[in-house]
């Protein structure tokens, strides 16, 4: 594949027929750059069917003269708060990593977010993430006037090592979530717990209900901590991606969410429910647990994870640009 952008065609998403090509491009980039973003057709289908996601406007594809997919961009646009954020995912065939295609995808994202501003009347920001080792992407984003405003750490822990037993304070315990009965209380717990976190946007009931129906959802990894009155005080959600694990030498599970209501912090509840879920992942046959954490989390999350055996494997840079108005 030549390293140029001549005869490249930009087009919108055509639906189900594009899923395999998108998954193949993402997985090729994942294998090349070790992104921890391997996917499948079924996972993409679930993601694209999220109620708040506009398939017609928030996906764009770039093909070469042979109609081979060489570039893919998608935007996940938040509900309005003080502003609206658009999270841009960028995938470019590695043979074109030094071409102008990355910039073209970013320009598409900027244009789409300005359209969102006109439609909704809020200031808009475009965000994108990449590993700290992805030098070409970093240069491209900086050249487009993006700045780094946060660092996230990817961490992992072997589940073959001893996992401490959870020690809940007196009057507190955990149980599995009942997706149908608990959905409202779970949403309220999640939104309340993350109000003081960086760049939080509330989850909506519609999106949560869709997520609970996804093929990889497991109630045995969706744990909630309750007090003696049954109040939801913390949650910990784990995930397993079976198709991903087929291609690895070990089986990995993910801790995707750890949340504790503010008035119940510093009591050991978050640690206890996290340990409970590590035991659940091990019981499900996983060898390793992974998670991501804000390096500047104000509530001591990084220290908590390190205290129970997680170690950093790499850093992700979070870039942002205010795109409410055209570049001068």
C-alpha span between 189 and 187 (Å, rounded): 5
Write down the pLDDT at residue 3.
52
Please tell me if the domain spanning 9-152+318-322 has the same topology as the one spanning 162-308. yes
pLDDT(2) > 60: no
pLDDT at 77 over 50: yes
Q: Which stretches does DSSP call E strand in the chain?
A: 9-12, 59-63, 69-77, 84-92, 124-131, 147-158, 173-176, 222-226, 232-240, 252-260, 288-294, 311-322
pLDDT digits (tens, 9 = 90+) for 276-316: 999 999 999 999 999 999 999 989 999 999 999 999 999 99
At 159-204, the pLDDT tens digits run 999 999 999 999 999 999 999 999 999 999 999 999 999 999 999 9
Second-level CATH architecture of 9-152+318-322: 3-Layer(aba) Sandwich (3.40)
Q: What is the pLDDT of residues 3-53, one digit of tens each?
A: 555 689 999 999 999 999 999 999 999 999 888 899 999 999 999 999 999
Structure tokens at 194: 């993350």
Condensed to tens digits (0 to 9), the pLDDT of residues 115-153 reads: 999 999 999 999 999 999 999 999 999 999 999 999 999
Topology (CATH level 3) of domain 162-308: Aminopeptidase (3.40.630)
* Domain extent listing, the chain: 9-152+318-322, 162-308
pLDDT at 96: 94
């Amino acid at each position: 594949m030549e390293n140029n952008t001549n005869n490249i065609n930009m087009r919108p998403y055509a639906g189900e027929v594009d899923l395999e090509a998108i998954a193949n491009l993402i997985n090729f980039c994942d294998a090349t750059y070790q992104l921890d973003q391997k996917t499948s057709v079924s996972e993409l289908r679930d993601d694209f069917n999220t109620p708040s996601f506009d398939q017609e406007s928030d996906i764009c594809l770039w093909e070469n003269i042979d109609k081979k997919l060489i570039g893919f961009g998608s935007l996940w646009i938040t509900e309005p708060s003080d502003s609206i954020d658009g999270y841009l995912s960028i995938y470019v065939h590695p043979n074109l990593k030094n071409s102008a295609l990355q910039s073209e995808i970013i320009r598409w994202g900027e244009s789409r977010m300005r359209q969102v501003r006109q439609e909704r009347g809020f200031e808009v920001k475009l965000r994108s993430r990449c590993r700290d080792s992805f030098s070409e992407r970093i240069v491209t984003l900086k050249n487009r006037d993006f700045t780094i405003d946060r660092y996230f750490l990817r961490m992992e822990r072997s589940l073959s090592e001893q996992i401490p037993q959870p020690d809940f304070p007196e009057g507190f315990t955990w149980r599995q979530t009942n997706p149908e009965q608990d959905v409202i209380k779970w949403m309220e717990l999640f939104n309340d717990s993350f109000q003081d976190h960086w760049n939080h946007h509330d989850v909506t009931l519609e999106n949560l209900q869709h997520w609970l129906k996804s093929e990889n959802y497991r109630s045995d990894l969706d744990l909630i901590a309750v007090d003696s009155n049954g109040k939801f005080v913390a949650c910990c959600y784990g995930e397993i991606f079976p198709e991903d694990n087929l291609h690895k030498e070990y089986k990995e599970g993910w801790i995707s969410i750890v949340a504790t209501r503010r008035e119940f912090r510093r009591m050991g509840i978050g640690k206890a429910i996290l340990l409970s879920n590590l035991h659940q992942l091990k019981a499900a046959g996983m060898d390793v647990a992974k998670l991501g954490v804000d390096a500047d989390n104000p509530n001591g999350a990084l220290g908590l994870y390190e205290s129970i055996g997680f170690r950093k494997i790499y850093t992700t840079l979070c870039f942002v640009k205010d795109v409410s108005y055209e570049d001068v």
